[in-house]
Amino acid sequence: MKDEPKLGFIGLGIMGRPMAQNLLKAGYQLVVHNRSREAVKALVEQGAQEAFSPQEVASQADIVFTNLPDSPDVELVALGPDGILESAREGFIYVDHSTIKPSLARKIAREFQARGAFALDAPVSGGDIGAQKGTLAIMVGGPEEALQQVRPIFEVVGKTVTHVGESGSGQIAKAANQIMVAAQMVAMGELLILAKKAGADPARVVQAIQGGAAQCWTLDVKPERLFAGNRQPGFKAYMQEKDLNIVMETAREYGAPLPSAGLHTQLYGAMLQMGMKDLDNSAVIAVLEELAATSLLD
């Protein structure tokens, strides 16, 4: 085990659990907490220490990481009763890997700064596969001083670490990332449906265009799963829709016109209304299948 620093991790879902496991494998001492205790028990069996509140995690750790579903969850865990802030002290570092509103990330940073502590907003991209392999892209907002202390830990869970700027900048980068992710998922769905309706083999179409200007992560990773009828997450559709709502709220706040992102938000909203909130974000193709009266698997 490494003597310093001692780490805490809160939020052991699809992304958080494999990230925490990678930290344990790297030899870090780790205190963990999660609403569902099954995930905690699994990590305790791998060498982690159990805690029963965010405050308890923070009281025992030098650096605490969170990966939580939405802005209200982060605000409660970071700033609420029995929250991380209650145990923050001089030099303590809080790192949030969740995707939340940039304005909330800035609020959290101010609250921790008032205690002599640091807060970094460090959302990630790369999905469950990236979390398992330790190849996530990490976008960081906050003080350079804190980032330098955390960078060796980031390098365990991520492949690229980019300091975007001041507090909130990491979340702005993640919002930009989610604009592109949604656009790729919808575009992939459209091209597959077009190929199907027009009588070409969708798999061969993907093969044909992967080597050209259309090449992207989405075409490299997702079509094979869709062709196999696998629409399980991955990254759940309701999380994609939540992230797009953050994008649109931020766009309204700053007066940025995002017409295509607005349409993609509606498509994911329709997907949720169709009862597919827990499917992969690539399963947005199902909305297009409904509109086109066809199925990729027919």
CA-closest candidate to residue 61, choices 102, 33, 101: 33
Please name the residues in contact with 64: beta carbons below 8 A apart, sequence gap of 6 or more: 7, 8, 9, 10, 54, 57, 58, 84, 92, 93, 94, 95
Please name the residues in contact with 257: beta carbons below 8 A apart, sequence gap of 6 or more: 251
Q: Cα 37 vs. chain centroid, distance in angstroms?
A: 21
DSSP state of 35: S
d(CA 143, CA 216): 32
Catalytic (active site) residue 174: yes
Question: Quick one: tokens of 251?
Answer: 């766009």
Beta carbons of 195 and 201 less than 8 angstroms apart: yes
Amino acid, single-letter form, for residue 54: P
Which residue among the candidates 101, 174, 236, 242 is catalytic per the annotation?
A: 174
CA 264, 268, 270: angle at the middle one, nearest 5? 115
Residues annotated as catalytic are: 174
